[in-house]
Amino acid sequence: MSTLSVIYAILFYAATAVLVVGLALRIKLYAATPTPLKIPTMPAPLTKSGAAFRVFREVAFFESLFKSNRWIWIFAVLFHAGLALVLMRHVRYFQADIWLVVKLIQPFGIYGGMAMVAGLLGLWARRLVQERIRYITGPSDHLMLALLVLIGLSGLNMKFLSHTDIIQVKTFFLGLLRFNIQDLPTDGPLLIHLGAVAALMIVFPFSKLLHAPGVFFSPSRNQVDDARDKRHLAPWAAHMDADRDA
Amino acid sequence: MADQKFETPAFREFRDNPAIKDGAMSHSQPFVAKPEHNTPLGFPGELVDNWEVKAVEKLGDLLNKNRALRVYLDSCVKCGACTDKCHYFLGTGDPKNMPVARQDLLRSLYRRHFTLAGKLVPGLVGAKDMDKEMLDDWYKYFHQCSQCRRCSVFCPYGIDTAEISMAARDIMDHIGVGSKYSNEILAKVHVIGNNLGLPQPALADTLEGLEEDVLDDDGVDVKFPLDVHGADVLLVTPSADFFAEPHVDGLIGYAKVFHQAGISWTLSSYASEAANFAMFIGSYEQMHKVANRIRKAALDLGVKRIIFGECGHAWRVAYSFLNTLAGPWDFLDPKYPVPQHILEVTNGLIQSGGIVLDAEANDDKVLTFHDSCNVARGSRMGDVEGGQFIIPRNVIKASVNRFVEMDPQTTMEKTFCCGGGGGLLTDDLMELRVKGALPRMEALHDVVNNHGVTHMAAICAICKSQFTKVMPYYGFSMDMIVSVHQLVGNAIQLGAKE
Ligand code: SF4
Ligand code: SF4
């Protein structure tokens, strides 16, 4: 067992802990913060299932983005759908017996990788070319794109140019799951790839990547239009009723 | 600032987005509230000592009370989808009027004090400390947002810049920097009951005058009751309806509808204002206080129903917030939703035959309809999703023969604000109001030129006042703007029913 393997093992344990605990705390905070008023962006669904379906459409199809900007929508879909495929493809590294879906997705995963990078480059180009978006872009926005592109390119590189010993990579990750550290191959591209992924996991709960849980908690999207039928009252505001004249 | 010099923007031939003009509107800000406007609302009279710290404290307080604020401040990915959706950006080209840039004015402080990244690497994530420059930017640009929610329609996470503007104004009020327009009006409401400061005797006088006018014009004795105990309906309407044109023609329309349908109704001098300006300053406490005047009036007068007149922001507070702020309404007749919009009532009567309209009465007009932002995106009418678009159009079409829609990119949930909403309807912001009206004026220009439209109907007191004032800048006559119930009032058949 090499020192490097130990370092990467610790890195991944730490990154996983930060990601899981960080996200859990953030989600807990969102859930615990009251919504004082009914503010769905109208027209809004009149039922709970309708509102859930509205959020689903946002998550699955980026419905509002489709309405507002076709180019951003195309690049965002390329990136996110690509990423989803890639993540599915990577499940095999954590399974001794691989699920059928993961096997079926295997040949498409690679297109996912390409779509992901293409989408990212499209989004990045907009940041540079489009004056309005350039104005609102900060250093962290470029860094985030750089990190994701690095992950994508280093991954594609291992598929097409400099292969790594993926059997050994799998042994390493299966080992991590059993708290039994195995050797990790020492190729540069792999180490870069994994290092960048760990970095992404660590910044996730502290960055704009919080849009992922955020979309589920957005009152303008998830609230039901029923204000006249049901009285909606935040706990912190309830005491005011006692002070009114009538 | 009486004679502000500025150029009315030209219509854009292809509706292309303006080029960015940094600082184009950095001179625009409303008059600052004086101590006598602030203290009655419980706000400090002027900028407090230690305001930098107090502002952060207030932000922390709001973050704990309002999930939307926290989620919206965290979630923006700077995708830019909202950047060309705000009428104030389209009309001015000032980049700080792009919704995301407006949000960032507050987000930079949030990041600095409430996020790990902002504490560790502020420069990387645009985190900043509160200073005079930031406060100045806040005061200017959070008063260049009419809280119209158009940006929230287009944001992939539904981020509503209106919520951010409200929070920022609330924070500013808490450190003693408020807008004179809103705070002065709110102080009047608490004492007198309406935004105009119209006391009971003056109101009674005005209503009597209206009864005489209608009797002269139509020969029918239509009543405008005030403070009548035991009436069935309490009508709450924006105070502009009592005398401003074209608002008052709308009020006459409601009265004729009630008269003809045989509905017993009354106005209240205690709750003689539908518009709740506390929403503009983002103060839940103030909103609660103003809203509960309506509850008290309803209890005192012993009414069975509450109906609101034509007013956009009022209807958002009424439809979406009134149950929260002033409910529960268990003492009212459960057969009716609380509150109802006058258009829901009129629409129902048209369908049931309770009133009869003769659209020929409006044959001198070709109408189009401006969806008011707060009705469109902050409320509903009727019992189906989108009823706020269907019902006003049904009523207009029953009242006039010729009706034309404007560009669908500018109506219904995509409607543009008139440019004067959200507490900006003040002369000290005239340049902003004129420029912000550009997208609506362009769409109107199209239907005037191509379809011979002569009038635009609206259902909001702010829209009506704003358009009356800014339409002449764009070469339209100010009396092109009409109330929907003005059309109803013209068309309604008064007298004995067959
Ligand atoms: S709420 Fe309306 S005025 Fe405010 S930023 Fe959004 S689009 Fe502009
Ligand atoms: S559309 Fe939403 S996420 Fe995109 S920049 Fe605007 S506020 Fe941010």
Nearest CA to ligand 1 atom 8: B86
Q: CA-to-CA distance for A219 and A36, rounded, in angstroms?
A: 10
- Whether residues B105 and B252 share a domain: the answer is no
pLDDT at B2: 44
Domain that holds residue A12: 3-68+138-245
Q: How many domains does chain A fold into?
A: 1
Mean pLDDT of B352-360: 97
Mean pLDDT score, B85-92: 98
Residue A31 included in any domain: yes
B173 plus B206 within the same structural domain: no
The answer to whether residue B28 sits within a structural domain is no
| Number of domains forming the structure of chain B | 2
* B256 shares its domain with B385: yes
| pLDDT on residue B243 | 87
Pick from B159, B342, B386: nearest CA to A46: B386
A131-140, B150-159, B192-201, B314-323, range with the lowest pLDDT: B192-201
Residues B213 and B296 in one domain: yes
Beta bridge partners of B266: B234
Q: What is the pLDDT of residues B423-445, one digit of tens each?
A: 999 999 999 999 999 999 999 99
- For residue B120, give every residue at least 6 positions away whose Cβ sits within 8 Å of its Cβ, in sequence order, or none: none
**B171 and B192 fall within a common domain:** no
Q: Tell me which residue has its CA closest to atom 4 in ligand 1.
A: B145
Q: Which of B153, B177, B201 is the last residue of a domain?
A: B177
What whole-number distance in Å separates Cα of residue B397 and Cα of residue B404?
10
* pLDDT interval class at B50 (50, 70, 90): very high
B219 and B171 belong to one structural domain:
no
Q: Which ligand is nearest to the CA of B146?
A: 1
Clarify whether residues B287 and B370 are in a common domain: yes
Contacts of B264 (CB under 8 A, 6+ apart): B228, B231, B232, B233, B258
- Give yes or no: residues B213 and B121 share one domain: no
Instruction: Look at residue B26 and tell me if it is in a domain.
Output: no
Indicate whether B120 belongs to any domain.
yes
Within this chain, do residues B372 and B462 fall inside the same structural domain, yes or no?
yes
The whole domain housing B287 covers: 187-491
Considering the domain boundaries, does residue B36 fall inside one? no
Please identify among residues 85-114 of chain A the ones whose CB lies closer than 8 Å to any CB of chain B.
none
- Evaluate: CB of B76 within 6 angstroms of ligand 2: yes
Only one residue has tokens 């004679």, namely B3
Residues in chain A, pLDDT under 50: none
Which domain CATH number covers B139? 1.10.1060
> What ipTM does the predicted assembly reach?
0.96
Residues 6+ apart with CB under 8 A from B249: B482, B483, B485, B486, B489
Chain A: give the shortest CA distance to residue B393, in Å: 16
| A47 inside 8 A of chain B by CB | no
- Sequence letter at residue A210: L
Identify whether A91 is part of a domain. no
Model confidence pLDDT, tens digit, residues B122-174:
999 999 999 999 999 999 999 999 999 999 999 999 999 999 999 999 999 99
Residue in chain A closest to B98 (alpha carbons) equals A132
Taking one residue from A and the other from B, the number of pairs with CB-CB distance under 8 angstroms is 222
Percent of chain B with pLDDT over 70: 99
Statement to judge: residues B408 and B446 lie in one domain? yes
Helix boundaries (H) for B342-407: 342-352, 373-378, 387-399
Using one digit for the tens of pLDDT, what is the confidence trace for B275-286? 999 999 999 999
Mean pLDDT, residues B258-264: 97
In a domain, A83, yes or no: no
State yes or no: pLDDT of B15 exceeds 80.
yes
Neighbours of A235 (CB within 10 A): 9
- Domain limit, last residue, from B139, B158, B177: B177
Burial class (CB in 10 A: 0-12, 13-18, 19+), B317: buried
Looking at residue A140, its amino acid is: S
Instruction: Determine the pLDDT at residue B14.
Output: 80
Q: Could you tell me if residue A128 is inside a domain?
A: no
Mean per-residue pLDDT of chain B: 96
Q: Does A133 touch chain B (CB under 8 A)?
A: yes
Confidence of residue B1 (pLDDT cuts 50, 70, 90): very low
Which residue from B76, B142, B159, B161 has its CB within 8 A of the most atoms of ligand 1, so it is best to mutate?
Answer: B161
Q: Residue B29 corresponds to which tokens in the numbers above? A: 């800000």
* Nearest ligand by distance to the CA of B98: 1
Query: Does a structural domain hold residue A82?
Result: no
Spatial CB neighbours of B216, under 8 Å, sequence gap ≥ 6 = none
Domain check: are B126 and B245 in the same one? no
Residue ending a domain, among B146, B177, B208, is B177
Pair B257, B365 in one domain: yes
User: pLDDT exceeding 90 applies to what percent of chain B?
Assistant: 96
Nearest CA in chain B to A233: B324
Whether the bond between B408 and the residue before it is cis, its omega within 30 degrees of 0, is no
User: CA quadruple A90, A96, A100, A106: dihedral positive or negative?
Assistant: positive
The verdict on a CB contact (< 8 Å) between A138 and B125 is yes
Q: Is the pLDDT of residue B3 over 60?
A: no
Q: Is B101 in the pocket of ligand 2 (CB under 6 A)?
A: no
Contact A244 B292 (CB under 8 A): yes
What pLDDT score does B496 carry? 62
